[in-house]
Amino acid sequence: MIEVLTDNQAGIARAAAILRAGGLVAFGTETVYGLGADATNARAVAAIFEAKGRPHFNPLICHYATAEAAFAHVRADARALVLAERLWPGPLTLVLPRRPDCPVALLAGAGLDTLAVRVPAHATALALIRSAEVPVAAPSANRSGQVSPTTVNHVLEGLKGRIDAVLDSGPCRVGVESTVLDLTGPRPVLLRPGGATVEAIEALIGPVGRGIPHAVAQAATGLRSPGLMVSHYAPSLPVRLDARTVAPDEALLTFGPGLPGAGAMFNLSPTADLAEAASRLFEGLRVLDATGIRLGLRAIAVMTVPDTGLGLAINDRLRRAAAPRD
């Protein structure tokens, strides 16, 4: 049964306790309702994708109560500091480089070296994040393919029976998602228009590029160069899928019982649990890539993962990681 929590001290405390315990809580922000989980808990983040029925592991926005807390996890440059000072709390999401010691689960950022962070302008959301004492990863609280919810009823229609609780903080004031701005390159790039206007942003930091640069988009569409895609992590070693045997000069990503003979091994889930496997996928690819390179191995072999439930998203990411590169 889903708990519908009231917007008061007891409701917020209950919602925070569920988050801290690894549960899923939908909560209102000024833009849309988010489906929140403890961003540092990879299993909880995997449960978000499961509840949404997402076919892909899209990178999620991490919500913080203060800019200071956000910038402890990502590296802010002068542009980020100005934007945060003037537009946070508010409907603006900044994509910035993760700090090396960033405790946010790799799955929350889809394995990328960057992380999207935002401080929402909603008293209840801020109280919840403060009370949970963890960054809260939250995509919009709708099933995949449906529109973003702006009332508790929308959330219940889509996610009842799939999440632990929803904190009723009334209808959302802005009603469209936050503006997503990529600050990882020399020129800021608008990845998604939203609640904060480009005009307001440009008045503070100068010209903002619109959309993904043409060359990058072209290279990415053919999947010829997944490393170029802004939203896809790919290891540097070649990836071989559906491995039934493994060579000593290969690293092996296993699911369930492993195979003998690999040069290195990482088990996504010894018990063949798809949620556990999802939560360890990007970590596994990174560990095997680093170990494989150190040991002079030539590829990462990956055992078959079933194409059901979260397995769909896992296989989508694995196929991208295995796509031919130049």
Binding site for Mg ion (CB under 5 A): 140
Please state, in angstroms and rounded to a whole number, the distance separating the CA atoms of residues 29 and 110: 23
| Nearest residue to 112 (alpha-carbon basis) of 227, 217, 218, 214 | 227
Size of the site for ligand TXA (CB under 6 A): 27
Footprint on residues 184-223 left by ligand TXA (CB under 6 A) = 191-192
Angle, to 10 degrees, between the axis of helix 198-205 and the axis of helix 78-87?
130
Footprint on residues 124-183 left by ligand TXA (CB under 6 A) = 138-140, 177-178, 180
Please state, in angstroms and rounded to a whole number, the distance separating the CA atoms of residues 118 and 16: 18
Judged on CB neighbours under 10 Å (0-12, 13-18, 19+), 110 is buried
| Residues in contact with 174: Cβ distance below 8 Å, sequence separation at least 6, in sequence order | 30, 31, 32, 91, 195
Least CB distance to ligand TXA at residue 104 (A): 11
Asked if residue 40 binds ligand TXA (CB under 6 A), the reply is no
Asked if residue 25 binds ligand TXA (CB under 6 A), the reply is no
Q: Between residues 140 and 184, which has the closer beta carbon with respect to Mg ion?
A: 140
Q: Between residues 140 and 279, which has the closer beta carbon with respect to Mg ion?
A: 140
Q: Which does 225 bind (CB under 5 to 8 A by kind): ligand TXA, Mg ion, none?
A: none
Residue with tokens 């009603």: 175
- The residue from 11, 23, 53, 59 that contacts ligand TXA (CB under 6 A) is 59
Contact present, 303 and 288 (Cβ < 8 Å): no
Q: Parallel, antiparallel, or unpaired: how do β-strands 250-254 and 61-63 relate?
A: unpaired
Q: Which does 315 bind (CB under 5 to 8 A by kind): ligand TXA, Mg ion, none?
A: none
Q: Which of the ranges 40-48, 113-121, 158-166, 258-266 carries the binding residues for ligand TXA, by CB under 6 A?
A: 113-121
Q: Between residues 32 and 252, which has the closer beta carbon with respect to ligand TXA?
A: 32
**Where on the chain is the footprint of ligand TXA (CB under 6 A)?**
29, 31-32, 34, 58-61, 91, 93, 95, 109, 112, 114-116, 118, 138-140, 177-178, 180, 191-192, 230-231
